Amino acid sequence: MNRISACRFFLPLKCTVFCALLLIPLQYARAANLSGLPLLSQAGAGLPWICGLAAVLLLAVGVGMLFAAYRRKVRMTMAEHGNFLDSLMEAMPTPVFYKDAKGVYLGCNQAFEEFTGLVRNELVGRTVHELYPAGEADVFKKHDDELFAAGPVQIYEFEKATSKGARQIRFHKALIHDGAGRAIGLVGVIADITDLRHAQQELWKARNYLQAIIDSSPSAIFCVDENGTITHTNTYARALSGECSNLLQECLPRIPDIMGAVRQALAGGGLLSLPRHISMIEGTLLAQDVMIYPLHALGISEAVVRIDDVTERHRMEEALVQSEKMMSVGGLAAGMAHEINNPLGGIMQSAQVIENRIREDLPVNRQAALDAGCSMDLVRNYLERREIPRLLGGLRESAGRAADIVANMLQFSKRSSSAWLPVAVNSLVDKALDLCLQDYNLSEKYDFRKIAVVKEYDPADPSVPCSGQQIQQVAFNLMRNAAQAMAEAGVLNPAIILRTRIEGDCAVIEVEDNGPGMDEETRRKAFEPFFTTKGPGLGTGLGLSVSYFIVRENHGGEIEVDSAPGRGARFKVSLPLHDRRCQ
C-alpha cells in the first residue's frame, strides 16, 4: 500500500481515536461532580451531553470517511482490473467480443474490428440482425440461444464472408454469470482456421497421394515397429497377409523368423536383404525376395519390410541358367558325337558280324566248322554253354544305348530350321504312350502296363505346328521318368494322368504322376544336363535336359514342373500355336 493510500485509510481512524480521548475529561468532570466540588459541578452540568453528542458526530464522520476511502480503493482496484482486461483483449491477436443476455454487443477488441470490418462504436448497442446479413444473423442468434439454454461453453464452425473473402472460422463462446450465478451475457473468441483447414487439406492430399503411390507398388510393404506391431501397409500387403492380427510374424507365417531379421536390421541400422524364400502354395511355386529398410533417419525405431513376388523372375533365371548350360553342353556334344560315332559303329557292326558267323543255318559257317574238324552243332553247343550269344546281345544292346546317348547329345548342337507342320496333340501323346508300353515290356523291375493311365484330352483334338518326332520324344521322356520314379519309390497304385488343352495362344501337354515327388533342390536341377536321381548305370541325366532344349530352343515353348515331396510331380509343356513364345 503506498503512502497516500495509507494516509487516506488511517485519517478517519485517527479522528475516531481523538473523539474517544475527548470523553476522558468529561468522565473526569462527572466524577468531580459526584465528589462534591461545586465549581466544576455547576459549570459542567450540561457539558457531558454536549461532549457526548460531539463525540458521536465525530465518530460518524470518521466511519463515513473510512467507508468512502474503502469505496475509492475498491473503485481503483476495479478500474485497474478493467484496464488490465481491456489491455489484455487489445493485445490478443484473435477477435474477442462480448454481449448481454439479450444479444446486444457490449464491446470487442481491435482484432475483432479488423476481422469483421466493423468499427467498435458501430458495434456496441446493436444485435447481430442489425449488423450482418439475415442468413448469418440467424445462425449467430440460433447458437447464442442454444448457449444460454444449455451453457456453459459452445464451440462451432462457420464459413463467413469477409472483406478478405470467405473464411472458415471457429467460435468459442462461454456464459458470463453474476454473483448469484445468473447468466447475464456471453463472451466469444473467433479463431480464423481457414489456413489450418487448407493445411489439413494439403496434408490429407499429400497423404492420399503417397498412399496411392504405395498402393500402386507391385511389392508388399509393411511398416513395423521394434515390437513387431504393423503400423502401416499397402494394398498388396493386405492381400498377401489376408485376415490376421497386427503382428508381422502372424501375418507372414511362411517367412521364418521375419521379426528376428527386423530386429537385426534395426540394430545394424542398414539395409538387410534376406535370402530368396521359396515355398509351395497348393502345388504352385512361390518365390519371394524380402528386404528390410530401417527408418533411423526419421528418428523412429521402425522398419519397412518389402516383399517382392519374383516367381516369374525366378523361373526366368532358372531358364537362363539352363539355356547357358545347354549352350555349353551343345558345343561339347557336337564334338563328342562325331568322335564316338565311328568307334561305336565299328563295335555294333562287329557284334552283328559275330552273331552272323555263329549261325547254324548258314552253309559257309557249317563248311568252316567241318574244315576245322568239328560240327557246327558242337560249336553252337559250346557257345551256348559259355553264354556267348547272350553276351553278344548285351554288347549290341549297350552299343545301341550308347548310340541313343550320342543322338540325344546331338540335339544340343543343332536346331531345325524347317517349317513345322500341324500335328494333332492327342495322337502325338498316344504314340508316345505306345512307345512306353513297348519299352517297358523288357524291363525286369517294372512293367508300364501295370500303371493306370488316365487320359484327360481336349475333345477338340487341337493341332500345333511342331516337329512331331521331337515332341513325341519329349512326352516319351516324361512318361518314362514318371514310371521309373514310381517304381523306385514302390508306389502301390501307380497312375499317370495325361492332359491336353489350349491355353491362350499355346497348346498344353501335361504329364502328372502320383509318385514320391521332388524337393525344391531337385526340382530346380531337374532340367540340368547329366543330373539324375537314379543309381549308377540307370540314367544318363539327359532325358529332361534334351526335352527342355527341344521345347524351349527348337519350338519357342515352355516346360516347367510343379512338385513337392510326397505329392507327385506335374510336368507342363506349352507349345506356341503361332510364331511367338508362350508366356
Q: By three-state DSSP, how is residue 507 classified?
A: strand
Cβ distance 421 to 465 under 8 Å?
yes
Note if the bond before 152 is cis, omega within 30 degrees. Answer: yes
Mean pLDDT of the 536-549 span: 69
- pLDDT score of 28: 47
Chain-centre distance for alpha carbon 519 = 30
Rounded average pLDDT over 47-61: 67
pLDDT 10s digits, 12-31 = 544 554 455 455 454 544 55
What phi, psi does 229 have (nearest 5°)? Answer: -85, 130
Residue 304 has a pLDDT of: 92
Asked whether residue 53 carries a pLDDT value surpassing 60, the answer given is: yes
Residue 329 CA to residue 8 CA, distance in Å, equals 121
DSSP, res 104: -
Is the pLDDT reported for residue 247 higher than 60?
yes
The single residue listed with the C-alpha cell 493510500 is 5
Mean pLDDT computed over 423-446:
73
- Using the CB atoms, write b or e for 550-579: b if 16+ within 10 Å: bbbbbbebbbbbbbbeeebbbbbbbbbbee
Helix axes 3-35, 47-91, angle to 10 degrees: 170
What share of the chain has pLDDT > 90, as a percent? 16
Give domain 92-198's CATH superfamily: PAS domain (3.30.450.20)
Q: What is the CA radius of gyration of the chain?
A: 55
Spatial distance between the Cα atoms of 367 and 126, rounded to a whole number of angstroms: 149
Residue reference for cell 492380427: 245
DSSP state letter for 334: H
Strands 452-456 and 495-503: parallel
Tens-digit pLDDT profile for residues 64-118: 777 777 777 777 877 777 677 777 777 888 899 999 999 999 989 988 888 888 8
Domain 217-309: give its CATH architecture.
2-Layer Sandwich (3.30)
- Torsion angles phi and psi, residue 50, rounded to 5: -65, -45
pLDDT in tens, 189-225: 998 888 888 898 899 999 888 888 888 888 899 999 9
**Identical fold, 217-309 and 421-576:** no
The answer to whether 509 and 500 are in contact (CB under 8 A) is yes
- Size (the chain), residues: 583
What local confidence, expressed as pLDDT, does residue 142 receive? 93
Alpha-carbon span 81 to 89, nearest angstrom: 12
pLDDT value, residue 582: 72
CA pair distance 165, 515, nearest whole angstrom: 80
Q: What is the distance between the alpha carbons of residues 443 and 126, in angstroms, rounded to a whole number?
A: 114
pLDDT at 330: 60
| C-alpha to C-alpha distance for 40 and 571, rounded to whole angstroms | 149
For every residue of 9-68, DSSP letters joined together read HHHHHHHHHHHHHHHHHHHHHHHHHHHT-HHHHHHTSSHHHHHHHHHHHHHHHHHHHHHH
Q: What is the 3-state secondary structure (H, E, C) of 370-392?
A: HHCCCCHHHHHHHHHHCCHHHHH
**Predicted pLDDT of residue 126:** 92
Residues 6 or more apart from 57 whose CB is under 8 A from it? none
Q: Which of 184-198, 249-263, 322-336 comes out lowest in average pLDDT?
A: 322-336
Residue with the three cell numbers 512293367: 447
Residue 343: predicted pLDDT: 84
Question: Which tens digits make up the pLDDT trace of 544-563?
Answer: 878 888 888 788 889 999 98
User: How far, CA to CA in Å, does 571 sit from each of 448, 506, 513?
Assistant: 18, 15, 9
Instruction: Match 469483421 to its residue by C-alpha cell.
Output: 116
What φ, ψ does residue 516 adopt, rounded to 5°? -75, -15
Question: Which whole number is the average pLDDT over 283-300?
Answer: 83
Q: In this predicted model, what pLDDT tens digit does every residue of 169-187 receive, in sequence order?
A: 899 999 988 888 889 999 9
Question: Is the per-residue pLDDT at 573 higher than 90?
Answer: yes
Q: Which amino acid is at 499?
A: R
pLDDT at 441: 41
Residue 315: count other Cβ atoms within 10 Å of its Cβ.
14
Specify whether the CB–CB gap between 556 and 581 falls below 8 A.
yes
Kindly indicate whether the domain formed by 421-576 is annotated with CATH number 3.30.565.10: yes
Query: What's the mean pLDDT when you consider all of the chain?
Result: 79
Q: CB–CB of 579/529 below 8 Å?
A: no
DSSP H helix total and E strand total for the chain: 18, 18
- What is d(CA 162, CA 166) in angstroms, rounded to the nearest whole number? 6
> How many Å apart are CA 65 and CA 8, to the nearest integer?
9
Q: What is the pLDDT of residue 67?
A: 72
Statement: residue 492 has pLDDT above 50: yes
Residue 44: pLDDT over 60? no
CA atoms within 13 A on the CB side of 248: 30
CA angle 262, 266, 271 (to 5 degrees): 80
User: Does pLDDT of 442 surpass 80?
Assistant: no
Whether the pLDDT of residue 528 is over 70: the answer is yes
Residue 192 Cα to chain centre, angstroms: 39
Domain spans in the chain, listed from the N-terminal domain onward:
3-88, 92-198, 217-309, 317-410, 421-576
Percent helix, strand, coil in the chain, to 5, is 55, 20, 25
Evaluate the CA torsion angle 32, 34, 36, 40 in order and state its sign. positive
Name the phi and psi angles at 506, rounded to 5.
Answer: -135, 145
CB neighbourhood size of 186 (10 A): 22
Mean pLDDT of 405-413: 59
Q: Is the pLDDT of residue 329 over 50?
A: yes
Least confident window among 249-263, 317-331, 375-389: 317-331
